Every structure is written in C-alpha cells, then in structure tokens.
Amino acid sequence: MTLSPFAGKPAPAQLLVDIPRLVTAYYTGQPDAAISTQRVAFGTSGHRGSSFDLSFNEWHVLAISQAICLYREAQGIDGPLFVGLDTHALSTPAGASALEVLAANGVQVMLAEGDEYTPTPAISHAIICYNRGRTRGLADGIVITPSHNPPQSGGYKYNPPNGGPADTHVTKWIEAKANELLAAKLAGVKRISHAQALKADTTHRHDYLNTYVADLINVIDMDAIRSADLRLGVDPLGGAGVRYWSAIAEHYRLNLEVVNTEVDPTFRFMSVDWDGQIRMDPSSSYAMQGLIGLKERFDVAFACDPDHDRHGIVTPSGGLLAPNNYLAVSIDYLFQNRPQWRADAGVGKTVVSSGLIDRVAARIGRRLYEVPVGFKWFADGLFDGSLGFGGEESAGASFLRKDGRVWSTDKDGLIPALLAAEMTSRKGQDPSQIYRGLTDALGEPFAIRVDAKATPAQKALLGKLAPQQVTSTQLAGESIQQILSHAPGNDQAIGGLKVMTENGWFAARPSGTEDIYKIYAESFIGEDHLKRLVEEAQVLVDGAIS
C-alpha cells in the first residue's frame, strides 16, 4: 500500500469536512434509484454512504425506516424499537428523520435520555435484556452509525430481536423494499413532523448509559481491576461512548483517565490514517498515534471507534496490539477463567482471522466455529450460549456473561477493552506480554493484507471460484492441505477462496466497494515465507480469474 504523507500525523485543516455543507446535502439531495451507487445497499454492517455523493441522505433514511416498519409488521414484531446514534455529523439528522417515520407508523421508540449518544453494544444489550423470558411483544433496534468510517460518512444498521446484526435474508428484504420506495419518490412513506414525533405517545426515553454500565459487573471482573489499582487510559476517539467511560470509572471506582473527551464531527483531533483519510479505526497504528504516544503513562490503555463496537489495546510493553493477536489472547484467557461457561461453548472466528486462534482452541480443547466475514454469523451462538466468544479480524468481538448467559450479540468494543484491564490485574502481565507467552508455546504468526487490482468481471469470478479450479498442489514450499470456498463452521460461501498449508494460509476476497481483491495471508515460519505466500497467492488467483 502507498502511505499518505499525512499518515500518523495530526489532521491538517485541508482534510476537515465542511459540516454545514455535508448536512445541507443530506436534506437537499435526491438520489436516483436507477443509479446503483445511489440505491440502498446493505453490506456486512448496514447501509453506508455520504450525502456528498447521494449515497446516504434523508431519502435513504426515510425509505429504510419505512421498510423496517413494514418488515416489523410482516414479522409480527410489535415490541419497543431501541434506537441509538453515534457522533458522526449525519447521525443526528438521520436520527430525526427516522423518528418522523417510526412515530408516523405507531412504533414504540426508545430514545436515549438526554439525547445521549449510544454505542452499538448498548442497543444490543437493551434488546436482549428486554426480550429475556418473553415470547411475544419482542423488541428490536436501530443504530445510526457508519462505524469507523470517515467523518463525511453516514450509516444505518438494523438489529432484529436476537440483538445482533440482521441476517442477509432480513437485510435483502429491507433493502429491496427501501429501493422500491426510493423509485416511487417516497410515495408510501408515512411521516409526521419532528416536533410531533417527539411528543407522540409512542416516543419514550431509555437510560441506556446507566443500565449498561451497572450490568458490566456481570461480564467483567470489575473488583479485580479496582483492587489492582491499575493506571488505565481510554481514548473514545470522539465516539458514542465518550460519557460511558467516565461513568464506568465513577461507578466502579477505577483509576481510569479519559485522555480525550472532545466530540467534534470533523474529528480534527485524530491522527490521519494510512491512506490520508481521517478514520476512527482503533486497530490502525496510524489513527491511534495519540494513544500510542501515551503508552508509558498507563498499565494498559484502550480505544473504541465512534459506535464503540471495535476495540484497540495499547500496552507499555508492546504499543498497539494487532487485532488478531488480541483475539487469541482474549480467547485463551476467557476460557480458562470463566468456569460457569458451558463445557461445550465454542470459539467463533472468521475465515480471515489468525490461525493462532485455531491453535489456542485446540490447546484449550474447545470447538472452533469458523464462518465468513460478518459478525451476524455469531449472533445465534452467543444468544444461546453455544459460543463463548465471537471475534473477527477487524477488532470486533463479544463474549458471554460470567454465568454463561448472553451479554450482547453484536460487537462490543467496551468489554474487550475492560477485559484487557481484568487480565492485566489477575495475571500481572499486560496483554502484549501474555501474547508473547502464547507465541512461545504455539508459534508466532506473521500476517499481512494486500490489495490487488481486479475488474468487476474478475471480482465476480473470484466470488464464485470453486476449489477444483485451483490446480496447484504446492504453496510457498508446502503441500496444500485444504482449499475452501465455504466456511467450515456453517458451510456458508466466503465469497472467495482460502488455501491452507501446515504453516500458512491465504484467503482472497473481492472488495465490495472498489475494483480490487484483497489477499489476507499468514505464516508461522517467518517474513520471507509470508512474502512467498502473497506472491504465489496472487499468481494462483490471477490465473484462476483470468
């Protein structure tokens, strides 16, 4: 990848988004449903786009909101709808637009007290807590967020009654109905004024913050953290959890410093990501320079993205821990320190997560559940307790309560962050030191992700490749042991290929937004072997899609 000259440096003024122009475009733009880039499109984490290019504006939000109302009606979902917003500039106007439709359709809406920003995991937690023990009148939720994406982005996610990200059959239904409404220029969308919607009998307030914070004692050993009196640091990256962290510190009497309490929709306090974008990605060392620079001040520190469903862990001994490495450390620790979890509770990972997780699962004697990219694949297992942990390579994870019951079925950035403090307090080592012990025993992985050019036609071919189309028997000097086009955990298509040897693997998947394909590779031998893996992977894939 080509690094921007701004990478890792404070965001200069010329990179800041013009917020008034962005919000004006939200209200004035009219998308054309005949143009694919202006239609509603649910990816792995909802519909995302920007008002600047007519891919996310008021029309999209109105259409999606009406489609969700129709979906709820068709499915008989008539409990409350929990709604949360993050700190992106487009989230607040989108939240207002959504409420106008939801109220007009008579939906019981649960807004945050004091219009508090609300993390994704607080919405999942609220849905699960409300639905516990119920078979009728079930709740669901909406989170208005584009996750860690740049400040000009907007996003809209739907969580059904299991609390997790909506499955593909749900999002396809909502997407199709929303696009019908767009094509009809919003004919069929019910709507009342925002003032009327706020005063509607169906609009209620919910204390997401204190409910979530008070319940953390049931998923994290907060007593151990307090007793160790660790020096903890957190950077909310200007996100929805900014007031949650001070509440956590106060409620549990922790020595926790919030190093940045600023909320600014330009995110001017960020350091620039590798490609010259302002991106609030807690797994990027470029975006995380601010907290990395403070690593000596704390025993362990952490950050979360704007909707707080991703985590980044910073230690004095190792700086920013790579997401895959911390997933492996968390799994190894949790399954040995949660005695009330089911003996058959498995480990959930995606096909492009580290092979170190496979080795950890084998060592602790737990079933590995390997699925395509997308946290939705873990929701049911976390819900019924058959998965103790679900994690994906992009620093998203959740796990069970201490008693083995469900905590959240969506990604939760706060609990992996607090788990770093728990394991440091109980083991006397920070997560980087624990990771080094793990690799001494199981081998050290060397990993990379690279992008390669591909035409739309080639991307389509890659997404449909079958294992028998790969004729090679060797990869980087080792015999190929397995070629996958479907994930072994649930037999769902991975949208590409994964090729494995004894000491390495690569996976190739087409990008959903750019004319490239992505190669993920990992070696347990070394950097030279990793380089060979990538080179031969590109030759193998290029040959297969040519």
Tokens of 193: 């004024």
Q: Which amino acid appears at position 463 of this protein?
A: G
Distance between CA atoms of residues 11 and 25, nearest Å: 23
Q: Would residue 153 show up in a list of annotated catalytic residues for this protein?
A: no
What residues contact 506, with CB distance under 8 A and at least 6 apart? 475, 498, 499, 519, 520, 521, 522, 533, 534, 537
Catalytic residue (one of 45, 55, 97, 147): 147
Q: Residue 78: is it exposed, middle or buried by C-beta count within 10 angstroms (0-12/13-18/19+)? A: middle
Q: Which amino acid appears at position 285 of this protein?
A: S
Q: What are phi and psi of 12, to 5 degrees?
A: -75, 160
Distance between CA atoms of residues 362 and 359, nearest Å: 5
What is each CA distance from 95 to 49, 61, 91, 538, in whole angstroms? 15, 8, 6, 43
Task: For residue 123, give the nearest of 133, 112, 134 by alpha carbon.
Answer: 112
- CB 91: neighbour CB atoms within 10 A? 25
What angle do helix axes 323-337 and 431-442 make, rounded to 10 degrees? 90
Distance between CA atoms of residues 326 and 435, nearest Å: 7
Secondary structure of residue 342 in the 3-state scheme: coil
Distance between CA atoms of residues 374 and 377, nearest Å: 6
Q: Residue 250: is it exposed, middle or buried by C-beta count within 10 angstroms (0-12/13-18/19+)? A: exposed
Q: Give the active site residues.
A: 147
